[in-house]
Amino acid sequence: MFDIDNALIVRLLDLAGIAVFALSGALMAVRMRQTLVTASFFALVTGVGGGSVRDLLIGAPVFWVQDGAIAAVCIAIALVVWITPERWWRGQLLEWADAVGLAAYAVFGTAKALAWGVPPVPALMMGVITGCVGGTIRDILAGVPSIIMRPEVYVTAAALASGLFLLLEWLGTGTPVAAVAGAVAGFALRGAAIRWSLALPSYRGARAD
């Protein structure tokens, strides 16, 4: 069984995923001119949403309920965003923060699923869920089209991060190498999609009557 407790790099990816997803949630709220309470809520549900669904599905204790520091960090990130000048957060920072969280969290979600005895293919799905659900919840709460309902390369990037991590683990490269390679690959693909507007082909089977 995969031992997540002995993989420091995987733990760091977990923290990175939570932090940058919380940042993306807070950024969404402040761009909508919301209150600090709303920004904190957005940061929390975006930061822990994917991991919470994963833990419920694999039968693990919901991680942030067991560790109160995680909620405190999410709220602290929201506070920093809310009190700092708007010019610090302009441009595509939300998209890039989301890309970092997507890749890092997808790898961690896969690793945690493996540690709980989940077979590789479902573990890959747990990685995708971990990486994508938080951002989806954020978009739904904000009333904007969810990223997964647009043809942009997003879920595919999470699947690449999870799949490459699994492959390299199976090949015996070691968890640090597998985790970093998976996260970097997922981030690179999502980053390319942001930079060059890469998208998957949409279904075109419908015909006008």
17 pLDDT higher than 90: no
Query: Hey, which of 6-10, 106-110, 205-209 has the most confident mean pLDDT?
Result: 106-110
pLDDT, tens only, 187-206: 999 999 999 999 988 887 65
Q: What is the mean pLDDT of residues 13-42?
A: 93
Crossing angle (nearest 10°) for helices 8-31 and 36-58: 140
pLDDT at 180 over 90: yes
Q: What is the mean pLDDT of residues 26-54?
A: 96
Pinpoint the alpha helices (H) of 84-197.
93-115, 120-142, 155-171, 175-196
* pLDDT tens, residue by residue, 63-86: 999 988 899 999 999 999 999 988
Q: pLDDT tens across 158-177, in order?
A: 999 999 999 999 999 999 99
Amino acid symbol at 146: S
Per-residue model confidence (pLDDT) at position 4: 66
pLDDT reported for residue 124: 98
Rama region for 67: left / alpha / beta (φ>0; ψ in -120 to 50; rest): beta
Would you state the pLDDT for residue 209? 46
pLDDT digits over 115-163, tens only? 999 999 999 999 999 999 999 999 999 999 888 888 889 999 999 999 9
Average pLDDT for the chain: 91
- Tokens 């998208």 sit at which residue? 199
The phi, psi pair for 7, rounded to 5°, reads -115, 90
Least confident of 15-19, 21-25, 74-78, 130-134: 15-19
- Within a 10 A sphere around the Cβ of 183, how many other Cβ atoms? 28
| Percentage of residues in the chain having pLDDT higher than 90 | 74
